[in-house]
């Protein structure tokens, strides 16, 4: 069975702090995709990243970075120098490699960045 | 990225009526579309998978007679909530998937359904 766990339900930080959102996943597949999405209060899902299981390199995109550790089945997301606009619910998700559209979501982490 | 349009974005309906939600892929052909439901403060849960021209596959616990899915073309899937009740109030979001290219799925904007 596949499962995604985001243990942090809510995180509150002050602007300019760095914050890491944790994601741990379970799968018996050797090949799979991992995702992060941002869901602002308006509700739409904003795609942030998709990573396939072959590629364990960490990725940086502006203030965002992701740490994929296959050995610990984790795919953590760090926001550097957080801003108020980063306030949202963030979801980590998993899909099977040949089912790229069928996502299993974690419970989500609600991030609140205060000025 | 590809564009998926979901309509309406918000709908309020009376208990006992039916509501149709449309999901359109605007610039690509979606062989598969997925429908998710999200209750307040909860995660997104897959309701069903629809393939163009065939019957939808529903996840365990989802009533197929209540949530009718039609995927009549490669660019349109519809979800009809029949005889809606207040407990059906939720955020419904679709994603459209193509097996071509990068095997990606793209999400619509979502529909917030309130049943009064």
Closest CA to A63 of A97, A111, A101: A111
pLDDT on residue B116: 97
Cβ burial of A110 (10 Å; 0-12, 13-18, 19+) is middle
Q: Cβ of B91 and A45 within 8 Å?
A: no
State yes or no: pLDDT of A4 exceeds 90.
yes
- Which percentage of chain A shows pLDDT scores above 70? 99
Task: Tell me the nearest-neighbour CA distance from B105 into chain A, angstroms.
Answer: 5
Contact A34, A93 (CB under 8 A): yes
Smallest Cβ–Cβ distance between B43 and the set A44, A101, A105 belongs to: A105
pLDDT on residue A97: 83
For residues B39-50, average pLDDT: 94
For residues A78-84, average pLDDT: 98
Q: Which residues of B touch A108 (CB under 8 A)?
A: 42-43
Q: Which residues of A touch B90 (CB under 8 A)?
A: none
Residue bearing the bigger pLDDT, A54 or A24: A24
State yes or no: pLDDT of A99 exceeds 80.
no
Task: Tell me the nearest-neighbour CA distance from B94 into chain A, angstroms.
Answer: 10
Q: Which residues of B touch A104 (CB under 8 A)?
A: 46
Q: Cβ of B107 and A106 within 8 Å?
A: no
Closest CA to B105 of A95, A83, A16, A105: A95
3-state secondary structure of A84: helix
For residues A9-29, average pLDDT: 97
Contact B34, B51 (CB under 8 A): no
Smallest Cβ–Cβ distance between A45 and the set B1, B49, B107 belongs to: B107
State yes or no: pLDDT of B1 exceeds 70.
no
Task: Tell me the nearest-neighbour CA distance from A100 into chain B, angstroms.
Answer: 5
Dump pLDDT digits (tens) for A37-49: 999 999 999 999 9
A72 — pLDDT class (breaks 50, 70, 90): very high
pLDDT on residue B100: 67
Dump pLDDT digits (tens) for B69-103: 998 888 999 999 999 999 999 999 999 987 666 66
Lowest model confidence (mean pLDDT) among A50-64, A91-105, B45-59, B92-106: B92-106
Written as one string, the DSSP assignment of B25-86 is ESSS--SEEEEEEE-TTS-EEEEEEEETTS--EEPTT--TTTEEEEEEETTEEEEEE-S--G
Mean per-residue pLDDT over chain B, rounded:
92
C-alpha span between A15 and B67 (Å, rounded): 43
pLDDT on residue A101: 80
């Amino acid at each position: 069975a596949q499962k995604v766990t985001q243990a942090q339900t809510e995180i509150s930080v002050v602007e300019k702090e760095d914050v890491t959102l944790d994601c741990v996943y379970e799968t018996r597949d050797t090949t799979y995709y991992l995702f992060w999405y941002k869901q602002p209060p308006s509700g739409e899902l904003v795609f942030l990243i998709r990573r396939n299981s072959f590629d364990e390199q960490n990725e940086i995109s502006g203030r965002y970075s992701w740490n994929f550790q296959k050995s610990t089945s984790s795919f953590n997301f760090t926001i550097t120098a957080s801003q108020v606009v980063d306030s949202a619910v963030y979801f980590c998700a998993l899909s099977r490699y040949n089912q790229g559209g069928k996502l299993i979501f974690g419970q989500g982490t609600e991030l609140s960045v205060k000025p | 990225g590809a564009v998926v349009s979901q309509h309406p974005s918000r709908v309020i309906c009376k208990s006992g009526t039916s509501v149709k939600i449309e999901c359109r892929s605007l610039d690509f052909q979606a062989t598969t579309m997925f429908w998710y439901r999200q209750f307040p403060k909860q995660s997104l849960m897959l309701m069903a998978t629809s393939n163009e021209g065939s019957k939808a596959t529903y996840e365990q616990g989802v009533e197929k007679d209540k949530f009718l899915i039609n995927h009549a073309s490669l660019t349109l899937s519809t979800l009809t909530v029949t005889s809606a009740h207040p407990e059906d109030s939720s955020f419904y979001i679709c994603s459209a998937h193509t097996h071509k290219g990068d095997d990606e799925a793209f999400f619509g904007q979502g529909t917030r359904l309130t049943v009064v």
